């Protein structure tokens, strides 16, 4: 240790400072420690991205994005699950006078898993690389193809891709899709999938911003109004279910069936809720459409998450207040009877209404996290950020559950 040195102008021992070797790392030793930490972080990332999934071939990794039920030639169903397999992190960038914080990713990619839901075995795994973080990808099945529609973000351009539903092989990429339609020759700037109508809104680099691709027809319409005019001509008879508020307003809703040609039903579907319980108004606004009360049962804050010509699947609350639970009800539209009901103890606990919030706010801000699909005897309920579960359509029995 070096001898103490007195500061000028004082002999007070408290004013003295002892000089000696500084503590901490210096020189190459410090760089060695930093390098070791960086190497350790790299090893952890590489292990998480590459090694861990390889050791668990039948596991599903990544953040859940979407799922679709796909029929097989042997009459069974397969489940296609799409996840974000990127290494996502928060990045802060500082420039003179500005600081920005946002998400970024390394090894940006998605995984598409083809799964036998009965055994939960992964039959195939498809890796798709991306250039930037993934914000939204939707999946749809039609006529032997599984479609994916990717929202544009950062360096990720809009994508339209299709895969063979039996083999998982990609049969169409974005360039192939554009080449099929001369109206898209300038290139795409936006792609937005509408699950309710099974259509895709498209915008192009030459300023066409109202194009609509109808998946089941394989046709592009020049505008939504042109599509609506074509749909209005559909003379097939059917039913559309509507949940109408009791006495015109409030959380108490009843289920009605509107019957008529599918063209007229689709044309007035968005406004049926307002007058489906009033025959005179219904006849004035939608001549040729009839209605009937399907159930006397009241659905508190009910929403129809899925419907076809056989059933309507509704999610509602068991009561109003902070301790509300969600209930799933399947209504048979042939007999107008409740086919089955799922209580909260069968559903994901994350679907429970937040007791720290009021029921309406919690219901409103979480409703878009829930999706319901049906194909044949399989109903799939998915909750984003949690997982998916399979329900037997005939009995309402839970067949399996996967946390993702």
Domain boundaries, the chain: 237-403
CATH number at 237-403? 2.40.10.480
Strands of the 398-403 sheet, one edge to the other: 370-375, 378-383, 387-392, 398-403
Convert the pLDDT of each residue in 173-206 to its tens digit. 999 999 999 999 999 999 999 988 899 999 999 9
User: What mean pLDDT is reported for the chain?
Assistant: 85
What would the mean pLDDT of 127-149 be, rounded to a whole number? 95
The two structure tokens encoding residue 336: 């107008």
The two structure tokens encoding residue 218: 């394989």
Concatenate the DSSP letters of all residues of 250-271 into one string.
Answer: SSEEEEEEEEEEHHHHHHHTTT
**SS3 at position 34:** helix
Of 268, 267, 162, the closest CA to residue 215 belongs to 162
Sign of CA dihedral 63, 65, 69, 70: negative
Read off the DSSP letter of residue 39: H
What are the Cα distances from residue 152, in Å, to 126, 158, 177, 337, 348? 21, 4, 16, 44, 31
Of 79, 161, 67, the closest CA to residue 122 belongs to 79
Residue 328 to residue 313: CA distance in whole angstroms: 7
Global pTM?
Answer: 0.79
Share of the chain above pLDDT 90, in %: 54
Would you say residue 119 has pLDDT above 60? Answer: yes
* Helix (H) or strand (E) run with residue 286 in it: none
What would the mean pLDDT of 77-105 be, rounded to a whole number? 85
């Amino acid at each position: 240790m070096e001898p103490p040195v007195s500061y000028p102008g004082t002999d007070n021992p408290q004013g003295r400072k002892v000089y000696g070797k500084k503590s901490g790392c210096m020189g190459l030793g410090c760089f060695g420690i930093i390098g070791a930490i960086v190497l350790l972080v790299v090893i952890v990332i590489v292990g998480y991205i590459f090694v861990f999934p390889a050791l668990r071939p039948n596991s599903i990794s990544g953040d859940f994005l979407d799922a679709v039920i796909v029929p097989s030639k042997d009459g069974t169903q397969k489940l296609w699950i799409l996840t974000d397999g990127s290494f996502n992190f928060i990045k802060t960038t500082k420039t003179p006078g500005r600081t920005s914080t946002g998400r970024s990713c390394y090894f940006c990619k998605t995984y598409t898993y083809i799964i036998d839901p009965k055994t939960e075995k992964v039959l195939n795994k498809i890796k798709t690389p991306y250039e930037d973080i993934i914000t939204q990808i939707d999946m749809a099945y039609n006529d032997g193809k599984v479609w994916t529609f990717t929202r544009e973000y950062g360096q990720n351009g809009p994508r339209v891709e299709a895969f063979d539903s039996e083999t998982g092989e990609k049969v169409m990429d974005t360039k192939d899709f554009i080449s099929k339609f001369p109206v898209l020759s300038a290139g795409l700037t936006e792609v937005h999938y509408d699950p309710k109508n099974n259509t895709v809104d498209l915008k192009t680099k030459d300023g066409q911003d109202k194009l609509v691709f109808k998946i089941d027809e394989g046709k592009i319409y020049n505008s939504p109004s042109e599509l609506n005019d074509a749909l209005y001509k559909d003379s097939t008879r059917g039913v559309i279910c509507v949940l109408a508020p009791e006495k015109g307003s409030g959380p108490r809703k009843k289920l009605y069936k509107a019957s008529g040609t599918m063209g007229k039903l689709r044309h007035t579907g968005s406004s049926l809720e307002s007058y489906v319980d009033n025959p005179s108004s219904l006849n004035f606004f939608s001549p040729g459409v009839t209605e009937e009360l399907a159930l006397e049962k009241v659905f508190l804050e009910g929403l129809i998450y899925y419907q076809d010509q056989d059933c309507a699947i509704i999610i509602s609350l068991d009561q109003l207040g902070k301790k509300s639970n969600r209930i799933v009800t399947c209504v048979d539209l042939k007999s107008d009877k409740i086919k089955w009901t799922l209580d909260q103890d069968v559903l994901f606990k994350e679907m429970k209404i937040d007791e720290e919030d009021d029921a309406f706010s919690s219901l409103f801000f979480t409703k878009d996290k829930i999706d319901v699909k049906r194909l044949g005897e399989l109903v799939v309920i998915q909750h984003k950020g949690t997982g998916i579960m399979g329900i037997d359509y005939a009995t309402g029995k839970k067949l399996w559950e996967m946390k993702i």
